[in-house]
Chains A and B, each alone.
Chain A
């Protein structure tokens, strides 16, 4: 079983290497190879299912294997594969959704001059992500944590000639690295405490059973938890490190679907689930985690309401849903967070791919421009692109948590987790249900229902073309994900996850509350925006908060201010200090000497080589003499 896992792990990186080595000039072969490779990974992962479920029932999981990567005295770092329900679930998500998105990209990216590079980068991403999934220790997780950051950087900046794209890639790398710095502190602090007891380890299973954990002082334990959590804050784009994710939408849409919705951004949630045994040792840490998730889900949902770029709306929606997962884990409901991670991967990948299909057909990302097509006829877009439209609506329903879609089941669990927390947290979570439905209603109203008032913001010759459905390679993933989004709740996902802590059913109260909130939000969204009138609502009841929302709660402005006024000023100070104090004042005497000797040197340079050789020999002789006499003296 572990051999197969190792094979799954190895295939993507081999493919990336093959493409870089041989297939850069053969784009179609590269695309086919990468997609076939991913599909074979998924099939192998599926083939493991009976064994995994069997072992799970016998409580014989996890199984692990490893080699020693660095073995020094007093420090062992392994490189290994750890398989349990958690990593297996994540493995299926990554390879399954990965396969669909690879297939989708074959059409979506068709004709791009760097078609091969795209698939090489995607394969590199798949490898890095599997490294996190399989990891059996903190250092390996950190290594692949950075590598997914790299692949994300490469893919966001895929169209590197676009200044926005390369800026967004850089921003993503740096912002997530701030989180990684925290994660490194967490790892070092944990290591330091355990090494002081002469039993330092990074291995998850060894840590879980480590008797020395309880001896770590409470404050340190909190700091360790918070440090590790910072890694998740960066990757899973939680407040205040969330600012990179919306910008990351500059990347190609399949990338947004795979990396910035379904898998990589969920890695933070996965990490929290993996190290939950460490986090739960400090109630303070859990408390902070839960509130970070709550705040993120609320702020992001609010911002989503005023966006008009379809990918940005979905990006903020992703932030908000990730906040849900983090909140659930902070409340101790790991299984709820992971369950929502899985269903979210289905429906959010679906929504992004659907959005990609619309963008592909209509050549615009603005929901108002998309809706403008519908001016001609009632439900015109729907008729022209039935598969995309239907699956998009399926995804919307799942995101809103309408029964019996997959999102309904996981969202109920999330709300149950929120209900067990402070009242304010539950109110926030419930508000997010309303807001989610509202912005999705607004989105659907804008693109599907006929509008009369809106006029095109920019004329584009493409828009004269009739939109049409893409070919099967884009439609098949939509269809598969559409089915999963609808029935995913009935899959045996929860069998793979740890038992819920004292699971109690939310009962009819939660069901009625969330349904009515979602219904109200959706209807309100549709009714307010079906005529594509941006201005009506904005000048109306949301005039004041609108500034706050459109400036995205001023996070970006605050960071820009910090960079301009703190980072650059401190750097300038160092630069000036170097120029004035270190060089001019500190080395002033030497510099003056240098000017004198420099003019002498100019004369020397006109000489011939033999002269240099003479100087060289003389110098050497002098040196030997000095040394010997120095010894005698």
Chain B
């Protein structure tokens, strides 16, 4: 397939691997931030082809995985209401809440529907004026513009039966939190190409300077990833800590200005809880007061009282922080499988545990 096969080319892979091998002189630990990158690395077998000096750890950039359990429970409470049609991206449906998942709500008669875009949820709202349509607005900066547009459209069209359950998070705040944690061992970051397509990479420049760590904007295909790794290793070997763009076919320094403007218009920064990590200050978006009418938590205030604690067995928090590998977990592949997941990292196909399980990394 054009524009994909070129980035999965075996010859180019060998060449880039040889370049990395030639460049590297000592061990380096790199974190790919985004779950989509983790998925691609494991699916292509890239992690097993890299020189042993390169240690990849998998970052917190899976929106499904970092959505706190409490919010999943709120979603389940909303979806169980007979006056609500609950809409969500597909892979959120299997995330276990403290008692059950959204699939179970559906089986018990709740109206839960998979949509591919919040605009599809708007369409459902137009067709079902007697119900409130709640969209589960999760994700990083990547999905925020579409969600913001849905709010703006609903507002403009006077669609009062549409609301969103917001759990938006942002990458720079996560990198800051990781770098501030005491036993952090990451030498360099591969930043998430899709997030940077929207936001640009100027935000990362002060982080690279403050923590003296190279950050390379990286894409998602094997060749993109190798390119990002090579750039990052070059920076490290040269003792430099710049922000580099290894995904120039999609990303500019300034990013997508109109998309940023739409986010600005609808959302404002707020503290957010990250599953397995805890509350990170100013690490996500919430609806501006002007759009409070579209906030599902305000529309159905009873969900605000829901409070949930995480499972004590699951180490997904450590996995999300890159401090443990999925197969370091005693429950991995035993009590915890994609069929009956203990934590969110086993649920989403972008989650590190699911990627390890699916593509077979049983105890190295």
Partners in one complex: no
B contacts, CB < 8 Å to A: none
A contacts, CB < 8 Å to B: none
